[in-house]
Structure 1
Amino acid sequence: MTDYFTYLEEEHISPGVLNGIRDYRKQFPPDETAAVPPRYFYYGKEVWEQAAHALLAGENLLLAGAKATGKNVLAENLAAVFGRPVWNVSLHINTDASSLLGTDTFQNGEVVFRPGPVCQCASAGGFCILDEINMARNEALAVLHSLLDFRKSIQIPGYGPIKIHEASRFIATMNYGYAGTREVNEALSSRFMVLQMPEIESENLEKLLEKEFPSLRKEYRKQFTALFLDIRSKCRSGELTEKVLDLRGLIGALRMIEGGLEVYPALHMGITGKTPDPYEQSLVRDIISSRFSAKTDPGKLFDL
């Protein structure tokens, strides 16, 4: 865990927040065998402190924001730093109460209750990440109301109540722009502290790329950062749709370039190909060609 706190100290997170997290971990000792290290670090002091304060106060957290703002990355970082096991629940239009809470099943010739991910998390003191909460129907999510408010329990018909562990927290994410999303009703949103996620800044994006690709030369790290920001600017102005604004795609392309694939094919696979529209594809190709030459040697991007 030392690495996590070192990282937070390097981000200049306030000592009060760090001490609060340490006290929480003393009260609820983490099970290191169940810990899932996050794939990436989230960079952003103000966001980190606001999110941590909400969880330390015993609140649940709703991370709302545009694409590529790091909602899931932050959620997994919080679970790792607080030392809690994670249950990831991907929500969709067909999500119902049984897929969240559990259902009946046969075991040793008798009917027993098989808990779903929400009940498992609530009982074990984990962090439950409700991914894309505004894709699920409000009537399906209504079963969570008593878990998320002051009652901290839920009644399972035929089996009695399940009390939530004091260490448990629920972190929901949502994107306003995805197809199939809907409004989250007031009853549900009132049970969360809502944190509007800002777009990643160039400085923090460079930190992310440096952490992920330590051998990537500084001048190229700046070029890839600028490329992402150029695409984001075009998306915000309406010249491109957000289909091509894909930070995961950029990082995946860099991994392929590090493995020896040419720059253009890698970026076209990671970014350009995310839209089926030929006109958009041509615009993205123009942006890429303004930052990189077709003759760029992938081997020269990295210090070997």
Structure 2
Amino acid sequence: MGIVQNLQQQGINQKLIEDAIYFKEYYKLEESLSHRISNSNNYFYGKEIWDMVISAILEGENILLSGPKATGKNLLADNISELFGRPQWNTSFHINTDSTTLIGTDTFIDNEVKLRRGSVYECAINGGFGVFDEINMAKNDAIAVLHSALDHRRVIDVPGYERINLHEATRFIGTMNYEYAGTKELNEALVSRFMVIDIPAVEEEKLMLILKNEFSDADEEKLNQFAGIFLDLQLKSQNGEISSKAIDLRGLIGSLKTIRRGLKPELAINMGITGKTFDIYEKEIVGDIIKTRIHSKWETKDIFPEIKLQVSR
């Protein structure tokens, strides 16, 4: 199933889907950049979120995806790139990310000083979708260079070089999670340059859609138990009983993949979930929740009754 078929299945406004397809066909892409378009078998589920995202992108807006851990913000960003057929440049913000990382820096090539282009520069001239991962960890130095690119001016001044006008198809997508250490409050000037979309915590129905899409060969009753682990941990975290470290959807999916490969479920879930927290007290709480859901005697055949060994691609 492709991204368009998935959105139709979710009941997304057909006019929005058609307009997104027109956008993709109108802005032609160079073959050399096709490898930068995301291509995933996993999809973000959420009709209202998709309606907001597509509408904003079509109207030339940049979007900021805000929400707690494991809500699918990065998956949604990848899906957006695929739907609109635009190359993606991803920048993960951390303490060493500065303006040169984004725009570029001088380098010596063929006996000349030339600009080695950064991710934002490449995105700007090629009509890409630039993803700013954990934008609320960015330093002021890095953010300041983006203001003119993110507002109605849509330009970037590169000191000593040239003034870049953004390609008409260029959009920027920020993601952030306030729960992570090292994050800070975003200033008003930056937030005003985005349309903000709050991604809610994962609910049972949505989680089961994700898991059944990924593991169609699993026993549904057992799959419900794995989903229950995630939801139980999420509730514990919301109540302040544990941190968000063990709430890891990637870890849960990774655990199920290793179980399908033949690993004992108890070992797999310890590796994918319990091992994500290093506090002894928290490990005990997480372990107790897992024990109520996963029987220690379960084997691969209990989760995947008709398993056939495959080579992972």
TM over 0.5: yes
Q: d(CA) in 1 for partners of 2:270 and 2:294? A: 12
Q: Counterpart amino acid of 2:7?
A: L
TM normalised by structure 2 equals 0.94
Aligned counterpart, 1:61: 63
- 8 Å CA contact retained: 2:218, 2:305: yes
Aligned to 2:4: 5
User: What is the rounded CA distance, in whole Å, between the counterparts of 1:184 and 1:8 in structure 2?
Assistant: 32
1:226-285 per-position Cα deviation (integer Å, ceiling 9, x unaligned): 111111111111111111111111111111111111111111111111111111111111
1:243 partner SS: coil
**Counterpart residue number, 1:20:** 19
- TM-score normalized with structure 1 length: 0.97
Query: Is residue 138–residue 185 contact of structure 1 (8 Å, CA) maintained in 2?
Result: no
**2:302 paired with 1:295:** no
State the distance in 2 between where 1:266 and 1:136 align: 35
Equivalent in the alignment of 2:188: 186
Please state how far the C-alpha of 1:30 moved relative to its aligned partner. Answer: 4.4
Report the Cα distance in structure 2 between the residues aligned to 1:247 and 1:30, rounded to whole angstroms. 33
Q: Does 1:175 align with 2:174?
A: no
CA offsets 1:75-103 (integer angstroms, 9 cap, x no match):
11001101001111011122111111001
Q: Secondary structure of 1:87's match?
A: strand
Partners of 1:31 and 1:83 within 8 A in 2: no
Aligned-residue offset at 1:31: 5.2
Report SS of the residue matched to 1:16.
helix
CA distance in 2, matches of 1:31, 1:252: 35
- What is the letter of the counterpart of residue 229 of structure 1? L
* 1:214 maps onto 2:216 in alignment: yes
Q: Percent identity?
A: 48
Kindly state the Cα deviation for residue 210 of structure 1 after the two structures are TM-superposed: 1.1
Q: Any unmatched runs of 5+ in structure 1?
A: none
CA distance in 2, matches of 1:98, 1:267: 41
Alignment RMSD (CA, Å): 1.3
Give the conservation status (yes or no) of the 8 Å contact 2:21–2:83. Answer: no
Structure 2: stretches of 5+ with no match in the other structure: 307-313
Matching residue of 1:145: 147
Aligned 8 A contact 1:131 1:173 in 2 = yes
Alpha-carbon distance between aligned partners in 1 of 2:24 and 2:276, rounded to the nearest angstrom:
41
Aligned to 2:258: 256
- Distance in 2 (CA, whole Å) between partners of 1:248 and 1:39 is 14
The one-letter amino acid paired with 1:268 is N
Q: Which amino acid aligns with 1:297?
A: E
User: Does structure 1 residue 228 correspond to structure 2 residue 230?
Assistant: yes
> How do 1:43-58 residues align onto structure 2 when only pairs under 5 Å count?
43-58=45-60
Amino acid in the other structure paired with 1:277: D
Deviation at 1:303, TM superposition (A): 3.4
